[in-house]
Chains A and B, each alone.
Chain A
Amino acid sequence: MEYSVVMSGFGGQGVLMMGELLAHCGMKAGLNVTWMPSYGVEMRGGAANCTVVLSENQIGAPITGTPKAVIAMSEPALDKFGSRLPENGLLMINSSLVCKDNSTYGQNGIKTVFIPTRELAEESGNEKMANLAMLGAFLAQTGVLELERVKKEVRSFLPPHKSNLAEGIEKALLKGKEYIDSL
């Protein structure tokens, strides 16, 4: 079973970090993983994205034309990547920033979930953790990895000088999960 997700948004929203944490935890869980970032000119244009693939088998392509899920943290990201979802894909939208009408999405069996990431991050105690609230929601929605597994590996992921962020990250991840549970 192979799972591929495209995480996209503005540079600075932490989409690359969100993907890297997922890949790191997948590796720690014994899966094969790839993390492929956008780079160079795309960053200068203000957009960032990465593709994460997790699999029990050897991974071929680190990129895909048909991801299982797309996370859109911004409206340009939604416009660019939302349309790549195949039938029955999962679309997770940052509703704190994207104000598109719900009805536009959810065709072809695509499941669309709106996550108020900023509000959830604020509730968790740090509004900068919106990306992690989204990741928590993504994990709860998909079950790709156990939230507990991810929380456990936050500290092995962070460089030593950023270890003070671990608790805040764990709280934001949990907020995202709780939001999905409440739906």
Chain B
Amino acid sequence: MTEKQLLKGSVALAQGAIDAGCRYYFGYPITPQNDIPEYLSAALPAVGGVFIQAESELASINMVLGAAASGKMAMTSSSGPGISLMQEGLSYLAGSELPAVVVNITRSGPGLGGIAPTQGDYMQATRGGGHGDYRLIVLAPNSAQEMYDLAGEAFRLAFKYRNPAMILGDAILGQMKEPVMLREALSPPQNSPWALSGAKDRQPRLVKSLYLKDGEMTVHNLKLLDKYKALQEKEVKVEIDCPTRCDLIVVAFGSCSRIARTAVDRACLQGLKVGLVRPISLFPFPEKAVREEAQKAGRVLVVEMNTGQMLEDVKLACNGNSEVYFKSYPGGAVPTPEEIEKEIEVIVGKGGLRHVNSS
């Protein structure tokens, strides 16, 4: 495939999963992610894959767990309330060290909420809504191309680290169409050394998350911790675009970062010195990049379509060494570039004076 195609983000993601080698999808409908199962219901059988509309989200995630335990590339997708129902399964996947990809095209909440774009599930995604001491790998695309690319990357990381990965999108990313360049399709994975494939002529293998013997669970938790540390060391993904001398950095992820991008560009055209830091991996969070850029600029503006969730990670990264401002767009409110630009002007305006005084 050498030509770009105009694809909806949800379709790009679904095709990205197939091209990464995924052949198993289990899901239950919910707006605004129905384009994913709709597409896969036709596209997966066409490549010899399996598509099952399960009876519930609980069934979906446990079918994913079963397929993953047998070494297959499996995924599910849902939105807010459905992802909440899947949390037990996610915890079991993490505890059992099984690779799988779960897509959350979010809807606003709490409760049944609304279907407008939101980033209110950041905490649930990065902290784990399920029980126990675990982390998901969390990737946040901001274009149809990244919906496609990060679907494959999520599977790669999930299999490399034997850990469930989540793609966190929203209705803007799911519904928007953009040109997408498809890559060469990969074959499904073969014979993972841990997969339950039938023990004929070999020693049986065990996939489990129950550890009752004295000290056993601690050992398991520390083993998981090593994985999370390795992820933090090796797999951070972040886009940094900050001028050498910068008076403010804006931190935003996902669809919100696209709007912030335009606002920052316009502010720079006016002569303001503003940069943009966009976390692409939400776990592992790009703590170092945020800390360093924030320290250089002295001031950070976090913009999120929620009431302040990634804000906590930014504050932890800054550790009190930078001024952190926050602009909130909760419950389906989507900022315009003009609104964010105005916010930038207000903050840099304040500090502009400080620069004059100090020089």
Task: Give A residues with C-beta under 8 Å from B.
Answer: 20, 23-24, 27, 32-37, 39-41, 59-66
The answer, yes or no, to whether B313 is at the interface (CB within 8 Å) is no
B4 near A27 with CB under 8 A, answer yes
**Interchain residue pairs with CB less than 8 A apart (26):** A20-B6, A27-B4, A32-B179, A33-B178, A35-B177, A36-B172, A36-B177, A37-B176, A37-B177, A39-B171, A40-B115, A59-B258, A60-B260, A60-B261, A60-B262, A60-B337, A61-B258, A61-B259, A61-B261, A61-B336, A61-B337, A62-B172, A62-B176, A64-B337, A65-B337, A65-B338
Please provide the chain B residues from 95 to 120 with a CB less than 8 Å away from any CB of chain A in the complex: 115-116
B338 near A66 with CB under 8 A, answer yes
A20 near B177 with CB under 8 A, answer yes
The answer, yes or no, to whether B339 is at the interface (CB within 8 Å) is yes
**Interfacial chain B residues near A36, Cβ < 8 Å:** 172, 175-177
- Closest A residue to B180 by beta carbon equals A27
In this complex, which of A32, A63, A64, A65 has the most chain B Cβ atoms within 10 angstroms of its Cβ? A63
The answer, yes or no, to whether B147 is at the interface (CB within 8 Å) is no
B32 near A65 with CB under 8 A, answer no
A115 CA to B30 CA in the complex, in Å?
40
**Interfacial chain B residues near A20, Cβ < 8 Å:** 6, 177
**Interfacial chain A residues near B165, Cβ < 8 Å:** none
A33 near B336 with CB under 8 A, answer no
Per the CB 8 Å criterion, the residue count for chain B at the interface is 25
A66 CA to B262 CA in the complex, in Å?
12
- Closest B residue to A34 by beta carbon equals B178
Interchain Cβ contacts within 8 Å, total number: 68
Please provide the chain B residues from 302 to 346 with a CB less than 8 Å away from any CB of chain A in the complex: 334, 336-339
The answer, yes or no, to whether B31 is at the interface (CB within 8 Å) is yes
A24 CA to B31 CA in the complex, in Å?
26
A35 near B6 with CB under 8 A, answer yes
Contact A27 to B179, CB < 8 A, known contacts A60-B259, A60-B265, A62-B258: yes
A120 CA to B178 CA in the complex, in Å?
31
Q: Which 10 A-B pairs have the closest CB atoms?
A: A60-B262, A65-B336, A60-B261, A61-B262, A35-B177, A61-B259, A65-B338, A27-B179, A61-B337, A40-B115
B338 near A33 with CB under 8 A, answer no
- Closest B residue to A51 by beta carbon equals B176
**Interfacial chain A residues near B339, Cβ < 8 Å:** 65
Contact A35 to B337, CB < 8 A, known contacts A60-B258, A60-B262, A61-B261: no
**Interfacial chain B residues near A61, Cβ < 8 Å:** 258-259, 261-263, 336-337
**Contact digits for B27-55, partner A, Cβ 8 Å, 1 yes 0 no:** 00001100000000000000000000000
In this complex, which of B6, B31, B172, B262 has the most chain A Cβ atoms within 10 angstroms of its Cβ? B6
| Nearest CB in chain B: distance from A174 CB, A | 23
- Closest A residue to B260 by beta carbon equals A60
A177 CA to B265 CA in the complex, in Å?
35
**Interfacial chain B residues near A27, Cβ < 8 Å:** 4, 6, 179
B261 near A23 with CB under 8 A, answer no
**Interfacial chain B residues near A59, Cβ < 8 Å:** 258
**Interfacial chain A residues near B258, Cβ < 8 Å:** 59-62
**Interfacial chain B residues near A32, Cβ < 8 Å:** 179
**Interfacial chain A residues near B338, Cβ < 8 Å:** 65-66
A129 CA to B6 CA in the complex, in Å?
22
**Interfacial chain B residues near A40, Cβ < 8 Å:** 31-32, 115-116, 171
B6 near A39 with CB under 8 A, answer no
A20 CA to B172 CA in the complex, in Å?
16
- Closest B residue to A41 by beta carbon equals B115
**Interfacial chain B residues near A39, Cβ < 8 Å:** 32, 115, 171, 175
In this complex, which of A24, A62, A65 has the most chain B Cβ atoms within 10 angstroms of its Cβ? A62
**Contact digits for B157-176, partner A, Cβ 8 Å, 1 yes 0 no:** 00000000000000110011
Knowing that A27-B6, A37-B176, A60-B259 are A-B contacts, what are 6 other residue pairs whose CB atoms are under 8 Å apart, sorted by A's residue number? A20-B177, A27-B4, A33-B179, A40-B171, A62-B258, A66-B338
